């Protein structure tokens, strides 16, 4: 009987370990691989991080961005493990491909990982990224968003409205097609506030 109970618990955990779903609900609190997720329809956790913002001439400029910098417009804040890895590159390319559509919907796209500014600058240049990448090496902001398993940020995405309220989140993100999924949710939220 103990073996059956153990196997039943193990089967319930396997999808989490396999990455098919890292969201677990315990009462009113939502947990993900990486920590406690911030609550939907509540103020998004603040951030203040250094990073790289691509300039019009294709060069990468050092910057520092806060949540307040995006007041008055929508923000797609996505966390990812590392620059130049397969899934992270695919995800970044998706956001770059759809960047004009996000901008037309008055939304900014910002990526966050533990990588430093030099790595972000190389990644932006290599992939032709025209949106900022922020550095969170200690995982302070990643922790606030339930997206940190040292030494990496986890692949989670958050959609924040112009008032700074968290309106949607994705965990255990599959990089392929994710940008379209976020864009669709953004347009739906804008159409039905």
- Give catalytic residue positions: 88
Delineate the domains of the chain, giving CATH numbers in brackets. 36-188 (3.40.30.10)
If one counts every other C-beta atom within 10 angstroms of the C-beta of residue 90, the result is 15
Residue 12 has pLDDT above 70, yes or no: no
What confidence category does residue 30 fall into, taking pLDDT thresholds of 50, 70 and 90?
low
CA distance 17 to 116: 28
Cα 33–chain centre separation: 13
* 38-63 residues labelled b (16+ CB within 10 A) or e (exposed): beeeeebbebebebbbbeeeeebeeb
CA distance 10 to 141: 31
- For residue 172, what pLDDT is reported? 84
Query: What is the pLDDT averaged over residues 85-108?
Result: 95
Structure tokens, 189: 């939220």
What confidence category does residue 59 fall into, taking pLDDT thresholds of 50, 70 and 90?
confident
User: What pTM did the predictor assign?
Assistant: 0.82
- For residue 32, what pLDDT is reported? 60
| Residues 120-173: tens digit of each pLDDT | 999 999 899 999 999 999 999 999 999 999 999 999 999 999 999 999 999 989
- For residue 18, what pLDDT is reported? 33
């Amino acid at each position: 009987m103990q073996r059956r109970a153990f196997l039943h618990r193990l089967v319930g955990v396997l999808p989490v370990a396999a990455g098919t779903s890292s969201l677990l609900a315990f009462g009113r609190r939502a947990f993900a691989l990486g920590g406690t997720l911030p609550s939907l329809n509540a103020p998004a956790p603040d951030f203040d991080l250094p990073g790289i913002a691509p300039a019009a001439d294709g060069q990468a400029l050092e910057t520092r961005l806060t949540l307040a910098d995006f007041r008055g417009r929508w923000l797609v804040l996505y966390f990812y493990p590392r620059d130049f890895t397969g899934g992270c590159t695919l995800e970044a390319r998706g956001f770059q491909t759809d960047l004009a559509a996000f901008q037309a919907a008055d939304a900014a796209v910002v990526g966050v990982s533990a990588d430093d500014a030099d790595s972000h600058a190389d990644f932006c240049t290599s992939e032709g990224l025209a949106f900022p990448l922020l550095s969170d090496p200690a995982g302070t902001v990643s922790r606030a968003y339930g997206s940190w398993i040292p030494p990496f940020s986890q692949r989670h995405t958050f959609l924040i409205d112009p008032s700074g309220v968290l309106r949607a989140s994705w965990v255990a993100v599959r990089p392929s097609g994710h940008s379209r999924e976020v864009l669709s949710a953004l347009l739906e939220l804008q159409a039905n506030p």
